[in-house]
Chain A
Amino acid sequence: MSTGIANTAARLTRPLSRGGSRRAGTRIPLIVTAVLLVAMFTVGSLRYDGFFSTQVVLNLLIDNAFLLVVAVGATFVILTGGIDLSVGSMVALSTMITASLVEHQGWSLGAVIPLVLAIGASGGALMGWIIHTFEIQPFIVTLAGMFLARGLCYTISTESITIDDPTTVSIAQARLYGSGGLFVSVSVIIALVVLLIAFVVLHHTRFGRGVYALGGNETSARLMGLPVGSTKVAVYAISGLCSALGGVLMTFYMLSGYALHAMGMELDAIAATVIGGTLLTGGSGFVLGTALGVLVLGMIQTVINFQGTLSSWWTRIVIGGLLLVFIVLQRLMTGRRAETD
């Protein structure tokens, strides 16, 4: 009998059971995404010859390394409850600057890459500063950044710039071989390193935890004495840096710079982040989930390629449907949150 009372008392001080399930609730989309990825791979393997191989998975990474880097940057911004629409244009601008400096001006890659990264980071930081200082919605500021960066591409060249520079070509075509003849590109290694750094930063540094706090409640974060302003500027700078790096990787992948590269990639990056389980309202999500999201997008593309008869626009249609499902899933989760609060 007395243990019964003790149990009751213990239960009272513990969070509500609903709350407990909610804690698991933040991981539900992540689990759904992982299951989806495995399911798509399984179905693909059963239906198409040559689908079931490790290299198919590695090719996913090779083909989407630049998107992964960009989406990681977008995750930082979305975790704070913001949005960055400029990333696609930033990628295009980076390909243009890299290609034109390497091809037309004869710069070495070692000088071009740091310059491009600096441009991306400072452009992002500028947008972050404007968003914070003038309290303007990120949507508008980054929309302006999107037009600006895309427009700047055309001031460099209206045509595609093909890269023949031998160093660049050799890096782009370099393959790192593992056992069994499996291989990845240099870009994959870079993307995975970026992912790892982002994971450590978000989950194991004060800055990263500040990002989550900011996304949870900005007013609270400010009143708790967290450096809200610098955190905001930093996440947009990170997003800019990641899109510039994504642009460099895309230059390797395409071996060209073109103003029409990465059209709509900001939306792919946002889609990957959301499908990876990050709430668009901020404060909840995992950067590793974003990697899963990118793989899901890549997997859809791969399945449609193997299918052979479907037009590549079906990729878009499937992504659209998937995104809708995930947004509704998010809504159901946050709806439940509002009730428990």
Chain B
Amino acid sequence: MTTPSTPADPAGTAPAGAAAGAGADQGAGRGTGAGPDTGTRQPVLEATGIRKQFPGVLALDQVALRLYPGEVHALMGENGAGKSTLIKVLTGVHPADDGTLLVDGAPRSFADPLQAQQAGISTVYQEVNLCPNISVAENILIGREPRRFGLVHWSALKRRAAELLTELDLDLDVSTPLGSHSLAVQQLVAIVRAVDLSAKVLVLDEPTSSLDREEVAQLFTLVRRLRDRGVAILFVTHFLDQVFELCDRVTILRNGRLEGEYPIGELTPVTLVQRMIGGELATLDELSEKAQEEAAERVAGEPFLTARELGRAGSVEPYDLDVHAGEVIGLAGLLGSGRTEAARLLFGADTADSGRVTVEGRTVSLRTPRHAIARKIAFCSENRKAEGIFGELTIRENIILALQAARGWTRPLSRTKQDALTRRWIEALDIRPADPEAQLRNLSGGNQQKVLLARWLLTEPRLLILDEPTRGIDVGAKAEIQKLVARLAADGTAVLFISAELEEVLRLSHRVAVLRDHRMVATLVNDDGVTPDRILATIATGADS
């Protein structure tokens, strides 16, 4: 067994066997003996010294990873730590620049995903990578269809797919097109495909990010069943509690380097996060108290913006809202409750068909985003890829976009000015890589989000609308963005904060507007009496109890 030639934690090397035993004890409700005996067995997959350079970004440097049969292994790290890149290297999507990859002790290198699959490594990605237009059966077996006389043997194909699903306790009509099933079912089908391809190593890249609680439980049952069959599972997630619930060992990456490998029993959520971000967790509790204290005084003055009977048919019913300078208003509600739609009306991204808006006492018309930007309103979309970033442009170009648009094209920002502004914001928001000329598509999700924030902050908005700014990004970046919101509010910017996480909404907001079925059902002042439960009750019943 080779030892990673990296600054790995000692627990990750020699005494790992004993430590893993402790980990198994800690994991309650886990099958006995399920904890991998890392001391004596050979890893099914072992990567050492992995290095990967992208243009302008050293994504991985001296990274190591070991997977043993029959374990669920978490791969943790902040956004941009290199998790996705490591997975892509392991599964043959990107070739590594340097380093060795051993599968069952034999050195291998993969030129494409097919070769990795043939070697026994398959991946289920965050976005289901199957074809929605063809049947469930074909999705499971495409490329390996049973054949007779050189032609696809359809009845055998369906039978085999049904068998595979039944083995894992799934009951689906395999001849239905995949796209007719829910995302969760599609994810399970993707896993069934991956497992049938190769039963050695299964990589799950953020499989739970779009699933609800019940679906996650179903997924975990499946994962545990596979683990008990001896499959090595690499589990990538941002959800800490899921790591502690499911995983046996953890490998932590930080800034493209290996931070260490630990049995889960040696970590607590706090130490895990500390190792991920390499520092202390921001003290967010203070924020919360301050927010509540200030709530009353913020609401006292004249509102910056008022909306009266503002609505759009089929999108959001007419609502009233006052936004004061320096106030953070949280929009809470379930997915699809009209949170985003309500915010889009204020930015002119959708045109309201009823009601009116005043900004600083004057009635204004917000028919297009240009009108809104002219009133110093900014909007960071939840749909970062489609409505936010320009992946082909550089960090600098992405950051100055909104400011340049607001100035008009006849008054271009000088290059010196652009560089200075970009440098300032890269530093202020700790955007990585700190290279103004790096292409945005090469950045991780969290850093792309920061660039978007910088773009709008540069326009010095009076009202900043943030739609799910922390979704899909890790705890470190999340804390930074939350702190930034609090700081902006303290400086007098009004913030409309939309998030699916109630805790986050409550921590930051002075007031919380609750939406349900496209209707704003309540606006609550965030005092001690407001709890996630009370908001949930409001969402459930449609009225504040």
Contact = CB atoms under 8 A, between A and B. Distances in A.
Contacts of B143: 206, 210, 224-226
Interface string B149-187: 011101000000000000000111100110111100000
Contacts of B132: 216-217, 337, 341
Interface string B83-127: 000000000010000000000000000001110010000010100
Nearest to B130: A220
A38 to B, nearest CB: 28
Given A15-B173, A19-B179, A340-B180, A223 B152 contact: no
Contacts of A210: 142-143
Contacts of A16: 180-182
B540 interface: no
Nearest to B193: A224
A217 B113 contact: no
A226 B142 contact: yes
Contacts of A219: 129
Given A22-B177, A209-B134, A217-B131, A225 B151 contact: no
Given A16-B180, A19-B176, A225-B117, A213 B150 contact: no
A216 B131 contact: yes
A212 interface: yes
Contacts of B37: none
Given A15-B173, A223-B93, A212 B180 contact: no
B179 A340 contact: yes
Interface in A161-218: 200, 203-206, 209-210, 212-213, 215-217
Contacts of A59: none
A223 B134 contact: no
Nearest to A79: B133
A213 B181 contact: no
Interface in A223-242: 223-227
B131 A223 contact: no
B179 A212 contact: no
B114 A15 contact: no
Contacts of B133: 212, 215-217, 283-284
**Chain A contact surface mostly:** helix
Contacts of A215: 133
**Chain B contact surface mostly:** loop
A14 interface: yes
Contacts of A13: 170-172
B147 interface: yes
A15 B226 CA distance: 25
B145 A22 contact: no
B138 interface: yes
B204 to A, nearest CB: 14
A308 interface: no
A194 B182 CA distance: 39
Contacts of A22: 177, 179-180
A334 to B, nearest CB: 11
Of A14, A225, A284, A337, most B-chain CB atoms within 10 Å:
A225
A20 interface: yes
Given A13-B171, A206-B145, A209-B142, A223 B177 contact: no
Nearest to A220: B129
A215 B134 CA distance: 10
A209 B135 CA distance: 11
A98 to B, nearest CB: 32
A216 B138 CA distance: 12
A125 B173 CA distance: 38
A200 B154 CA distance: 13
A222 interface: yes
A15 B193 CA distance: 19
Interface in A1-32: 13-16, 18-20, 22-23
Of B133, B150, B154, B172, most A-chain CB atoms within 10 Å:
B133
A212 B133 CA distance: 8
Contacts of A18: 180
A221 interface: yes
Contacts of A212: 131, 133-134
A223 B179 CA distance: 18
Contacts of A14: 172-173
Nearest to A282: B133
Contacts of B177: 19, 22-23
Contacts of A225: 112-114, 117, 143, 197
Contacts of A213: 131, 134, 138, 142
A178 B425 CA distance: 82
A105 to B, nearest CB: 39
B129 A223 contact: yes
Interface string B400-427: 0000000000000000000000000000
A23 B151 CA distance: 24
A264 B197 CA distance: 46
A185 B143 CA distance: 39
Contacts of B123: 223
Interface in A22-57: 22-23
A23 B129 CA distance: 20
A135 B336 CA distance: 36
Nearest to A201: B151
Nearest to B138: A209
Contacts of B128: 220
Contact of A341 (B117, B173, B179): B179
A225 B182 CA distance: 24
A206 B180 contact: no
Given A209-B142, A213-B142, A223-B125, A23 B180 contact: yes
B500 to A, nearest CB: 19
Contacts of B131: 212-213, 216-217, 220-221, 224, 283
B125 A15 contact: no
A103 to B, nearest CB: 41
Given A13-B172, A224-B143, A226-B142, A19 B180 contact: yes
A89 B37 CA distance: 67
Nearest to B145: A206
Interface in B384-408: none
A206 B145 CA distance: 7
A93 B70 CA distance: 62
Contacts of B147: 206
Contacts of B125: 223
Of B117, B138, B143, B182, most A-chain CB atoms within 10 Å:
B143
Contact of B113 (A15, A209, A222): A222
Contacts of A221: 131
Contacts of A216: 131-134
A80 to B, nearest CB: 12
Contacts of A23: 176-177, 180
Contacts of B181: 15-16, 19
A312 to B, nearest CB: 38
A337 B151 contact: no
B38 to A, nearest CB: 30
Given A14-B173, A206-B145, A224 B179 contact: no
Contact of A205 (B93, B117, B152, B180): B152
Of B125, B145, B151, most A-chain CB atoms within 10 Å:
B151
5 contacts: A22-B180, A23-B176, A206-B143, A210-B142, A216-B133
Given A22-B177, A204-B152, A213-B134, 8 more contacts: A19-B176, A19-B179, A206-B143, A210-B142, A213-B131, A216-B131, A225-B112, A227-B114
Interface of A: 13-16, 18-20, 22-23, 200, 203-206, 209-210, 212-213, 215-217, 219-227, 283-284, 337, 340-341
> What 4 A-B pairs are tightest by C-beta distance, nearest first?
A19-B180, A216-B131, A225-B114, A216-B133
